[in-house]
Structure formats: structure tokens, C-alpha cells
Amino acid sequence: MLLRQIDRWAELAPQQIAHQYREQILTYSELKTYSDSLACWLFQTLKYASGKRLPIIVYGHKESEMLVFFLACLKSGHPYIPVDSSIPPERLLKIIEASGATAILSPTALPEKVKSRDLLWREHLHLAAIFDLAPGHAGPLPEWQIGTTDVWYIIFTSGSTGEPKGVQITRHALESFVGWMTKEYQPKLQQEIFLNQAPFSFDLSVMDLYIALSQGGTLWSVDQQHIANPKDLFDSLQKSQISYWVSTPSFAELCLMDPSFRQKLLPRLRYFLFCGEILPHNVASSLLERFPQAQVINLYGPTECTVAVSGVSITARILASPGPLPVGQNSAAWQIHICDPDDLDRVIASDGNKELFLRSLPPGEKGEIVIAGPNVSLGYLNRPELTKRSFFTWTENDISLQAYRTGDIGYWLNGKLYYQGRRDFQIKLHGYRIELNEIEEQLRKLPEIENAVVVPVVRRHKNAALQAFIKLSDNFLELTSKPETAQQDWGQEIRQKLEAILPAYMLPQRCIVIANLPLTKNGKIDRQALRGGQDDSLC
Ligand code: AMP
């Protein structure tokens, strides 16, 4: 079991580095000692308050304390919710409300508004301060820990109804995922160094975090400042000796802009593990050319199915064949079906009617990707209606499995899985998952705005930014006749209002005032026209 596996490194290799972030180094011995100590304090402090396994929010960026807090929550019997400190306080408050979190721990400062809430909070909680909280403890008891079917973490993603939604991942799902990944990509015990690029609030980080810790490896974190300053980033990479690169393709694309990004910079590199968005053909081919000793793996999966469900090594042969790159191949670990979306609608609406069952479409036929198996989430935290719309039971040969309809369109061909775009208005921008409806909903809440449509701006076949088309409310119509500069200033004001509610990656770059939103022949808003005819399936 995963917690035991991680703790064992404190006995086998106490001085081995578990995490490195800038000047901060955390050994396996420290990871265990501090997390044990904090777990005792959490258990004593929270046990009587709730009697339930209520979640704890862990708020910060890449500090080593984050890892200690994650493990301490689990050892005291609470799932954790990782929240990156870059999000606006309003969004953090929404997550607190939606999750019913019982406590919030942070190695940095907490927003003032959070401290007035009725929950236990600790800010600037550094490693040394943890011992002051629980002096002379005997260690957490195994029976406090998160059980197999309990939730291990909850990750909040963008929600189409205007509110973020919390995906609950159980210990069993996570252990299945880690087991599958280590079998597929065989890291050597105690020898591997994993790049951690994604914030801990993004489930891609689960891949590097838990594969590294379970195998006695080192997690090497880079942060937003590194990413914004290529010199800083490359200085850090040069020292890193990374052997497993885990990131979004967008991040590797950024690195490729520097000619020194090649095997000489990372001589031990063996794997590029990509997930979360389309891997462009040219990125894969440049990487194979510059890193002849490394494999490029394209992984696919949504947060709801524990990071990734399939992966495929992109070889020179695959690159030479026309068409998109595959995102996976047959895997024995869980089931990946292609279904007719209308059949899915019917089965889900029937609420478990046994007469209706789904069948997989044959290879070559396009449909919606459905995933069934132990890796699938229990559903969205405290959102039963939303859960019912996407999660259901897949029954075949008297075996029932938890299943999730992804909203992704794809197909199987010659044993490989291909991704073809979305059925809805969810997009990926620089690796971040965004429901365009969520931004539109927030815009519509402003008194100046009657209706709004947000569309991605596509450059070189890739989402590059967002732009919002806005129809003003009657009281604000005079803006329509004002010069363009006045409209641009107003657009900036709107952006500032959104900044208080939405993370930076969800802010439209431009807000364009429009007299009327164009409609299709069916009377729906013509998003395609607003996108200037750009192809939806690319995003
Ligand atoms: P997230 O929950 O943030 O990991 O986003 C999941 C979504 O990202 C999936 O439902 C897909 O739409 C998209 N996605 C994940 N992996 C890939 C991939 N390899 N290629 C294309 N799209 C992907």
C-alpha cells in the first residue's frame, strides 16, 4: 500500500532526497518524521470536531511542506485538496464552501478572508514549526489512515455550471494508477529524478509525485518563476539530472525554443511523459531528434480517471505515418470503450435500467470515449446531480465497473487509441482545462453584461488565448457607439473584475463588444462564426 511504500524509504534510505525545490531539500527521513508529527496533531485536533473524514485544504505552491502536509492529512485519516496559491481568494472561498473542508494548512500566507471562516487554519507553517504543534508524539496509528475505498485527494477543475467541481480519487484508484505506470515505465528504485512542472492542484503532478515517492526517487520541482524566466529554468534543469520528464506538451514546446534544450543539458533523461493536451507532431519529432536516448510517451486521460488511462511511445515510425498521433494502446489495466453519445445519453437518463446496455463501437468508428475500471473516480464531491450526468456502472459478463463518459471524441484503429476533440465547450489552453461556460457564467453575472460567449483564439493549430464576445445590458448600450479605445478600456475593467474570481489562465485576453451574438439556422449561438471558422475539433 502506497503510504507504507513511501514511509519505508525513511528506513531503507533515510538520507535519500525525496523532494528538491530551489534551495529546499527534503529527505525521506524528514518527510516521514514531519508528516507523522503533523498527523498526530491533526488527529487530536480534528477527531472530535467532525468524527468524519472531512477534507483538508493544502494551500501553497511547490514548497516541500506541501508533500509533508499531503501525507499528514492521509495519515490522520483525511483526504486533501491541493490548491495552488496563485488562485484568487474568491475561488479559494468557493472551494472551501463546496468541499466542507475542515482545515486549511499553508506554508505561505493565507488570504485574510479565509481566516475569518469557521475552520481550523495554520499559515506560514514551516517544517520547524510542526514539532512545536505536536511535541513528543508516539506516531500516527495505522487505523487512522485512509482506507482502500476512502478518498485520497480531491482536485477541483473548471465547471461548466460556473462553479469549480471537486473530483474525488480513492486510495484504490491512485494505487491502481501508480501500479500501472511503474509497470509500464519501470523506474529503477532509488535512482530516478522526476521533473515536477505542473502545480499540485493539477492532476498531472500526481504522476510525478507518487511515482517518485513510491520508488524512492526524487521529485524535482520547478515553479512559475522558473517558467517565466528561461535562464533561471535552464540553470535549474542543468543541475537537476532529471531522468523522467513529466509535463504538458506546451511546456516542452516552450523549452524547445532554446537551442540548448538537448540531451547534453539532461544527460540522464530516459522518458518524456506527456499528458493533458494534444501532443503536436513537430514537438514529438524535435524531442526525438534532440534527445536520442529518450522515449516520448503520449499519455491520455482526464482527472476523473486518475491522471492517465493509456499511453503510447511515439516512435519515428509513428511520426512517419500520416494523421494524428495516437494517445494510447490496448491496456489490460482498465477498459476504454468508444460509444455512441446518444446511447450514452439514454443509458444515463434511464438511471440504472438493466434492460439498456451499452456496446462498444468497432475499431475505426468514432464516438465518445468511456473509461471503466478501478481508476475511475467516485464522482464530484457533494454534487450528486452532476455526478449522475457523467458517471455510471458499466456491466458486462456480470461484472460491474465504475465508468465515466469523458466528453472526448475518439476511435480505436489497429490497436491504438486516437483523440479527435471534444463534444462540449471544454478546452485546453497551455495545458489547463477550462470550461468556457464557466467564464461566460461569471461574465453574465456582471450588471453591464446581458450575454457573453468565450472562444479560443487558435494560432498554428493550437489554442493560444481566449476572447470574449459581449452583448451589453440595455442600461449600458451607449458604450456600443463609443470609440474603440473606450471599448478597449472597458474590456480591461471587465478583465479586472474577472481577475478577482477566476485564475489568470481563465481570463480572456480581449473583450469585444458586439451588438448581437450571431445565431445558427437552428437559433443557437454560432460559436463557429465567432471563431472565424476555426475548426473546433483541433482543441
Ligand atoms: P485534465 O482533467 O485536466 O487532465 O483534462 C482532461 C482532458 O484533457 C481530456 O478529457 C482530454 O480532452 C484532454 N487530454 C488529455 N490527454 C490528452 C492527449 N494526450 N491528447 C489530447 N487531449 C488530451
Span from the CA of 17 to the centroid of ligand 1 (angstroms): 31
| CATH code assigned at 198 | 3.40.50.12780
Q: Is the CB of 276 under 6 A from ligand 1?
A: yes
Which of 328, 319, 317, 273 lies closest to 296, judged by CA? Answer: 273
Residue 330 has a pLDDT of: 80
Give the span between the Cα atoms of 156 and 492, in whole angstroms. Answer: 27
Q: Tell me the CA–centroid distance for residue 300 and ligand 1, in Å.
A: 6
User: For residue 319, which amino acid is it?
Assistant: L
Compute CA distances 26 → 92, 127, 212, 225, whole Å.
27, 10, 13, 21
Ligand 1 pocket: which of 278, 304, 368, 462 to mutate (most atoms within 8 A of CB): 278
300 ligand 1 Cβ < 6 A: yes
The x, y and z cell numbers of residue 186, run together, are: 519501470
The C-alpha atoms of residue 346 and residue 491 are separated, in whole angstroms, by: 42
**Domain assignment present for 303:** no
- Which of 277, 283, 538 maximizes ligand 1 atoms within 8 Å of its Cβ, making it the mutation to test the pocket? 277
Please report, for the domain that includes residue 347, its CATH number. 2.30.38.10
Among 155, 167, 202, 300, name the best residue to mutate to test ligand 1's pocket (greatest count of ligand atoms within 8 A of Cβ).
300
Shared domain for 233 and 348, answered yes or no, is no
Is residue 411 in a domain? yes
- If you measure from the C-alpha of residue 177 to the centroid of ligand 1, how many angstroms do you get, rounded to a whole number? 16
* 383 and 514 in a common domain: no
pLDDT at position 538: 36
Atom of ligand 1 nearest to the CA of 167: 2
Residue at 307 is within a domain? no
Q: Which amino acid is at 168?
A: Q
Nearest-angstrom CA–CA distance, 429 and 436: 11
Q: Which atom of ligand 1 is nearest to the CA of 433?
A: 3
- How many domains are contained in the chain? 3
- Whether pTM exceeds 0.85: yes
Could you list the residue range(s) of the whole structural domain that residue 103 is in? 2-247
CA of 302 to the centre of ligand 1 (A): 5
Give 35-93 as a 3 state SS string.
HHHHHHHHHHHHHHHHCCCCCEEEEECCCHHHHHHHHHHHHCCCCEEEEECCCCHHHHH
> How many angstroms does the Cα of residue 231 sit away from the middle of ligand 1?
29
C-alpha to C-alpha distance for 391 and 371, rounded to whole angstroms:
10
pLDDT for the residue 539: 38
Give the pLDDT score at 536. 43
State if residue 326 touches ligand 1 by the CB under 6 angstroms criterion.
no
Assigned domain for 14 exists = yes
Does the Cβ of 250 fall within 6 Å of ligand 1?
Answer: no
Q: What is the pLDDT along the chain (539 residues), one digit of tens a residue?
A: 999 999 999 999 999 999 999 999 999 999 999 999 999 999 989 875 556 789 999 999 999 999 999 999 999 999 999 999 999 999 999 999 999 999 999 999 999 999 988 899 999 999 999 988 877 777 899 999 999 999 999 999 988 777 899 999 999 999 999 999 999 999 999 999 999 999 999 999 999 999 999 999 999 999 988 888 888 889 889 999 999 999 999 899 989 999 999 999 999 999 999 999 999 899 999 999 999 999 999 999 999 999 999 999 999 999 998 888 999 998 768 999 999 999 999 988 887 666 667 889 999 999 999 999 999 999 999 999 999 999 999 988 888 999 999 999 999 999 999 999 998 889 999 889 999 999 999 999 999 998 899 999 998 888 999 999 998 988 887 777 778 888 888 888 999 999 999 999 999 999 998 888 888 777 778 888 898 755 444 33
Q: Is residue 492 part of a domain?
A: yes
